[in-house]
Amino acid sequence: MLALLTHRFGLDVADDAVQDALVEALNWAVVPDNPAAWLYTVARNRAVDRVRRDAAAARRLARSAPDLLSVAEHNSDGYGPGGNDEEVPELIDDAHYSGDEHLRLLLLCCHPALNRDTQVALTLRLVGGLTTAEIAAAFLLPEQTLAQRIVRAKRKIRDAGIPLSIPEDLTLRVDALLTVVYLIFNEGYLSRGSATGARIDLVEEAIRLTITARELLPGNAEVEGLLALELYARARHGTRFRGDELVLLEHQDRTRWDGELIEQTNGLLHSALARRQPGPFQTQAVIARHHATARTAADTDWPAIASAYAVLLAMTGGSPVVALNRAVAVSMADGPDAGLRLLAEITGLENYHLYWATRAELLLRAGDADAAAKAFARARELATNAAEQQHLDRRIAQLRE
């Protein structure tokens, strides 16, 4: 819906119109037979009203102060970027929605005129449906800073006249595309905004977008690597929560993992690795495969996982989150003290709850219960996911027993 309206009215007007329609839907007494069609019609009408108001204001300005208007504004007489009020579909048919509109909108947000962080933030907001607070948490940034970044990106798209289209050479945007889809998947995998811990709708949407990208970019090893990473995680989704409680990997019932999907994903990853075009998503998929194919938690090949994280750390330019995961793997391979030494070298994660939760677990394994309790308390202060909060509450309570 946002993509259809953007094609006609431009991104700023379309986004505001969709939000207005959603707000109006809060007053529904009865859900319409076709909610998408209702929302689209209301949003379209709001956009038309907005354009008419702006056009009337421009005419008044032209009459009173014509020297303030540019030549382009004097000559513009249409609604949207194309300068006319061309017809667009009146309804969205839920049963036959292809998803192509989603991909076009995603690629608009991934335009190379925007820097990488801005591409990712804008796409998560418009395509992934994440709130500004959720995206800010993913970037480890203040919410206001992230909000300003999104506003500037929308303004740049409008001012530069960036088109809503799929480019002929999709490879120019593949890195940003995969990064965005990965972050959408991560938000679904462990949601900061969901009371249920995970959002399977975002997980499935990320997988669908990755499959679409694979169709558009056949033979791209990193696309296959990302898809493999997502599918390994999808294969054990049913064991990650017990009610509202998060179940850690080591305690999950592996007999309930989707063995058939894991085998299929092994083949997909083998195909990607055989192309000999290594990348970070393939490396993460290799790590996921080690976990997925270990018959028990004790069978996990932690030295191999630690080595893979060292490779990934180099690929990502020393990402502190990757360094954190490497510290966990090293602690499992070489003991908690080795992991704590690596944690001490990491900077930039002072306000990241998983840093403190990891530190707490390693301190507890090393025998320092008092320091572990303080670290758990700090992690609990920073955690925003309900399932993680419950898990940390339980760990804190266990320490007090």
pTM of this prediction?
0.74
The pLDDT of residue 90: 41
Give the model's pLDDT for residue 344: 95
**Tens digit of each residue's pLDDT (9 = 90 or more) over 56-70:** 887 787 778 776 665
With beta carbons less than 8 A apart as the criterion, state whether 117 and 139 touch.
Answer: yes
pLDDT > 90 fraction of the chain, expressed in percent and rounded? 46
pLDDT in tens, 25-68: 998 888 888 998 999 999 999 999 988 888 888 778 777 877 66
Q: State how far the Cα of 295 lies from the Cα of 344, in Å rounded to an integer.
A: 32
First to last CA, the chain: 53
Report the distance separating Cα 262 and Cα 132, nearest Å: 34
- Least confident stretch, 102-116, 139-153, 368-382: 102-116
Contact by Cβ (8 Å): 271, 282: no
Distance of alpha carbon 165 from its chain centroid, rounded?
Answer: 21
β-pair partners for 246: 241
Bridge partner residues of 242 (DSSP): 245
* Higher pLDDT, residue 113 or 355: 355
Which of these ranges, 50-59, 86-95, 189-198, 264-273, has the smallest mean pLDDT?
Answer: 86-95
Q: Is 258 helix (H, G, I), strand (E, B) or coil?
A: coil
Q: What's at 324, amino acid-wise?
A: L
Report the pLDDT value the prediction gives residue 194, as an integer from 0 to 100.
53
Local structure of residue 50 (DSSP, 8 states)? H
Over residues 234-259, mean pLDDT: 90
What are the backbone angles phi and psi of residue 242, rounded to the nearest 5°? -115, 95
Q: Where are the alpha helices (DSSP H) in 161-299?
A: 174-189, 200-216, 221-235, 259-274, 280-293
pLDDT at 92: 39
- pLDDT tens, position by position, 68-122: 665 445 444 444 444 444 443 444 343 433 446 777 787 788 787 888 778 878 8
What per-residue confidence (pLDDT) applies to 70? 56
Amino acid in position 147: A
| pLDDT at residue 246 in the model | 84
DSSP H helix total and E strand total for the chain: 19, 2
Average pLDDT over every residue of 178-189: 85
Structure tokens at 22: 């959603």
* DSSP annotation of 349: -
pLDDT greater than 90 at residue 279: yes
Q: Are 135 and 125 in contact (CB under 8 A)?
A: yes
How far is residue 241's CA from residue 197's CA, in Å, rounded to a whole number?
A: 8
Query: What pLDDT does 286 receive?
Result: 98
Characterise 7 by phi-psi region: left (phi > 0), alpha (psi -120 to 50), beta (else): alpha
DSSP string computed for 270-290: HHHHHT----HHHHHHHHHHH
Looking at residue 126, its amino acid is L
In the chain, the percentage of residues whose pLDDT exceeds 70 is 89
Segment among 137-151, 185-199, 314-328, 337-351 with least mean pLDDT: 185-199
The mean pLDDT of 254-262, rounded to a whole number, is 96
Sign of the Cα torsion 313, 315, 316, 318 reads: positive
What average pLDDT does the chain have?
A: 85
What pLDDT is stored for residue 377 in this prediction? 96
The 10 Å Cβ neighbour count of residue 161 is 8
Give the residue, 153 or 230, on which the prediction is more confident. 230
Structure tokens at 2: 């946002």
Angstrom CA distances, 172 to 111, 166, 189, 326, stand at 9, 11, 28, 31
Give me the residue spans of the domains in the chain: 4-83, 295-344, 350-401
The two tokens of residue 329 are 């793997």
d(CA 127, CA 82) in angstroms, rounded, equals 23
Locate 315 and state its tokens: 């690929």
For 242, the token pair is: 């017990």
CA angle 6, 11, 17 (to 5 degrees): 80
Q: Is the pLDDT of residue 138 over 80?
A: no
Cα three-residue angle 1-170-282, rounded to 5 degrees: 100
3-state helix, strand, coil in the chain (%, to 5): 70, 0, 30
- Beta carbons within 10 angstroms of residue 391's beta carbon: 21
Q: What is the pLDDT of residue 174?
A: 84
Q: Would you place residue 318 in the very low, low, confident or very high pLDDT band (cuts 50, 70, 90)?
A: very high
d(CA 360, CA 396): 10
242: helix, strand or coil: strand
Residue 64's pLDDT is 80
